[in-house]
Structure 1
Amino acid sequence: MNNFLYWFGLASYEMANKKRKVQKIRKHEATFKKELKVIEQVIRERTPYYELQLSFPQVSYNDEEVEMKINRQIQEDIHAFASNIKDDARKFYQLTGFLGQIPLRPFEGVTTFVIHLISPTVLSMTIDYYQFKGGAHGYTKRKAYNYNLMTGDSFFLIDLFDKGYNYRRVINGAISDAINEHPEEYYQGRDSFITINPNQSFYLEPDSLVIYFDLYQIAPYVKGIPEFRIPYEMFEGHLHL
């Protein structure tokens, strides 16, 4: 744990290794509510075999326990992502015999984040994890971070609705209607959208619930990450933030 905290706390943690160029973490502070601040943390690292440019949020909150829960999860995810890029790059260039030579294109890891909603009780944001490990193009995985600011715990889609309310019917209908407006952009037949899953990815905006899917999940790569905005009023008072 000490090593983990050191990795995030000091931008010069690897300056002893001359091959690595790590710029100091810079912080850009954005205040959204009087008692909650989101600080952008940026880590850049470059070697001949991989490049990292990691932008991720750090929360400052007047409830230390809630703050610690949120920041710990984000930091663990960022650390795991960066470690995966570095480990795979080392293994690949060792395996191919190119270690010690300058590759045509190094592996890449990039993260960016968006704050979608801050209310007195809810924080909703997403981090996009982009990686390139060879091939025609890279891959982006979007992860939502939805928190109850009273407890610091993450919550699922089902937690937003009255018990017994058939929210899946409303969401499935809205998504199907949107797809039917542009069916050429989505998979058809056996690969077409049928229903959201129990662990469906989502985030919250001031006026809408946003359901999204991974690349390739319901549409070709060219579509990007499909998102569907569903106004809260469609749930007729059964959704509670």
Structure 2
Amino acid sequence: MKRFYVLGVLMFIGIIAVFSTMRAQNLELVKSSTKDSTITIELSMPRLNYLKDKTFQDNLNSQIESNVKNFVQQVRDIATQDAAGGVQRVPYEANVTTEVRYQNDEFVSFIVYYYQFTGGAHGITTFDTYNVDLKNCRLIALADIIKQDDEKIIKDSILKSIEEKKEEFFEEDAKQLVTNEDLSKRPFVIEKDGIVFKYNHYEIAPYSTGMPEFKVTWTELGSRPEFIKE
């Protein structure tokens, strides 16, 4: 009897371990690298697993994979062309990295960065943001987490941040863009304490400023989504 009890406990622990592993692997990073005389490629690409809606999961994974492949092919084509034309001096670079900004059992927010160097003073980075409701298998839009009146709060917060460090921005152009832009089209990620709005190189600031981002806290907005845990 004691032996059966021990076996039962071990089986229970094993089941818990399996489910814990599955939860931990809802988002995994698939890494690869390759190099030749014209280009160096380093990839750390996100892949979603174990979602209850496999169609949603596969479609999103395919979309991300397609974006990565197109990016790499674009840089590879430039490298091949420049090498053939005798203008390439050093191997070019195509790097894809993933940054997870918030994750729990029900939700994950992450950024996929695309860095390319094709000669010149420096490379250039672009990005895509993803806010994934793992429980309901859908992408979260800004309208899903803010109220109608929150847009003014968000823009006022961003404008205040620009004003406080105006020497780091194209001040007037930045303020005009933020004031007039459609926030529903602005890339964002979600963190435990707020929403982070992101801007590309040169969009509102010189390269030396980097890619500006502005956090608007849940406290400022007066509420937070249910999937954000304490």
Same fold (TM over 0.5): yes
Aligned partner of 2:127 in structure 1 is: 142
1:131-170 equivalences under 5 Å are 131-162=116-147, 165-170=148-153
Aligned partner of 1:35 in structure 2 is: 23
Q: Following the alignment from structure 1 to structure 2, what is the Cα–Cα distance between the partners of residues 191 and 236?
A: 26
- In structure 2, the gaps of 5 or more residues are 1-18
Q: Following the alignment from structure 1 to structure 2, what is the Cα–Cα distance between the partners of residues 151 and 71?
A: 16
Q: Following the alignment from structure 1 to structure 2, what is the Cα–Cα distance between the partners of residues 132 and 223?
A: 19
Give identity over the alignment, percent.
25
Q: Following the alignment from structure 2 to structure 1, what is the Cα–Cα distance between the partners of residues 61 and 174?
A: 37
Render the CA deviation track for 1:29-80: whole Å, top value 9, x for unaligned.
Answer: xx99852513221111111111101111222224233432332222111111
C-alpha RMSD of matched pairs (Å): 2.3
Letter in 1 for 2:120: G
Choose from 55, 59, 78 the match for 2:68. Answer: 78
Q: Mark the CA change 1:214 to 1:50 in structure 2 (over 3 Å): closer, same or farther.
A: same
- In structure 1, the gaps of 5 or more residues are 1-30
Aligned partner of 1:203 in structure 2 is: 189
Q: Secondary structure of 1:136's match?
A: coil
Q: Per-residue deviation at 1:178?
A: 1.1
Point out the structure with max Rg over C-alpha. Answer: 2
Letter in 1 for 2:57: E
Normalising by the residue count of structure 2, what TM-score does the alignment of the two structures yield? 0.79
Instruction: State how many pairs are aligned.
Output: 204
Q: Per-residue deviation at 1:141?
A: 0.6
Q: Following the alignment from structure 1 to structure 2, what is the Cα–Cα distance between the partners of residues 119 and 85?
A: 35
Q: Per-residue deviation at 1:203?
A: 0.2
Aligned partner of 1:182 in structure 2 is: 165
Q: Following the alignment from structure 1 to structure 2, what is the Cα–Cα distance between the partners of residues 219 and 237?
A: 31
Aligned partner of 2:110 in structure 1 is: 125
Does 2:199 match 1:213?
A: yes
Moved more, 31-40 or 125-134: 31-40
Aligned partner of 1:91 in structure 2 is: 81
Relative to its length, the structure with more helix (as a share) is 2
Letter in 1 for 2:76: K
Aligned partner of 1:232 in structure 2 is: 218
Q: Per-residue deviation at 1:151?
A: 4.3
Q: Per-residue deviation at 1:219?
A: 0.8
Q: Mark the CA change 1:151 to 1:83 in structure 2 (over 3 Å): closer, same or farther.
A: farther
Aligned partner of 1:12 in structure 2 is: none
Moved more, 31-40 or 172-181: 31-40
Contact 1:156 1:199 in 2 (8 A): no
Q: Following the alignment from structure 1 to structure 2, what is the Cα–Cα distance between the partners of residues 181 and 130?
A: 29
Letter in 2 for 1:53: E
Q: Mark the CA change 1:191 to 1:182 in structure 2 (over 3 Å): closer, same or farther.
A: closer
Letter in 1 for 2:218: Y
Does 2:178 match 1:194?
A: yes
Q: Per-residue deviation at 1:240?
A: 5.7
Render the CA deviation track for 1:101-142: whole Å, top value 9, x for unaligned.
Answer: xx4212210111111122343221001110011211100112
Q: Following the alignment from structure 1 to structure 2, what is the Cα–Cα distance between the partners of residues 87 and 130?
A: 15
